[in-house]
């Protein structure tokens, strides 16, 4: 009888461990929501973006002019560095210096070394 109780507790412990492991695996491998489907916490122009108190890793929508094009990176109004998704390279290839762009991306933070704000995973939006 005591041996049966020990098996019962062992089975319960192993079962609990397996269920916990399943939840952990599902959490670790959950699919990331694309930037296009995320809700933006800020929408506007660069001047109001700089003055706003925006938390890092927030989604923002900006309308700004391009001041430089550097490989896979754009510079907006000389203060924001923009890196776009590899899948968006076709739409970003047509952008030239001086163009007005409307884009959505994740605010990474302020880079003290280069003295510029960083946006990553950016996508182009249609003008609204």
Model confidence band, residue 44 (pLDDT cutoffs 50, 70, 90): very high
pTM across the whole model: 0.73
- CA–chain centroid gap for 115, Å, is 21
Q: Is a pLDDT exceeding 70 seen at residue 4? A: no
Residue pointed to by tokens 């754009």: 74
Query: Over the stretch 87-103, which tens digit does the pLDDT of each residue have?
Result: 887 778 888 899 999 99
């Amino acid at each position: 009888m005591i041996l049966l109780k020990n098996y019962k507790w062992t089975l319960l412990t192993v079962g609990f461990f397996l269920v916990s492991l399943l939840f952990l695996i599902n959490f670790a491998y959950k699919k990331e929501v694309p930037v296009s489907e995320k809700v933006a916490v800020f929408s506007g122009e660069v001047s109001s973006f700089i003055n706003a108190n925006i938390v890092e890793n927030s989604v923002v929508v900006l309308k700004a002019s391009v001041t430089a094009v550097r490989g896979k990176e754009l510079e907006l109004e000389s203060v924001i560095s923009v890196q776009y998704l590899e899948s968006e390279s076709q739409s970003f290839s047509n952008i030239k210096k001086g163009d007005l762009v409307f884009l959505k991306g994740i605010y990474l933070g302020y880079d003290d070394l280069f003295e510029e704000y960083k946006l990553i995973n950016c996508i182009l939006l249609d003008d609204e």
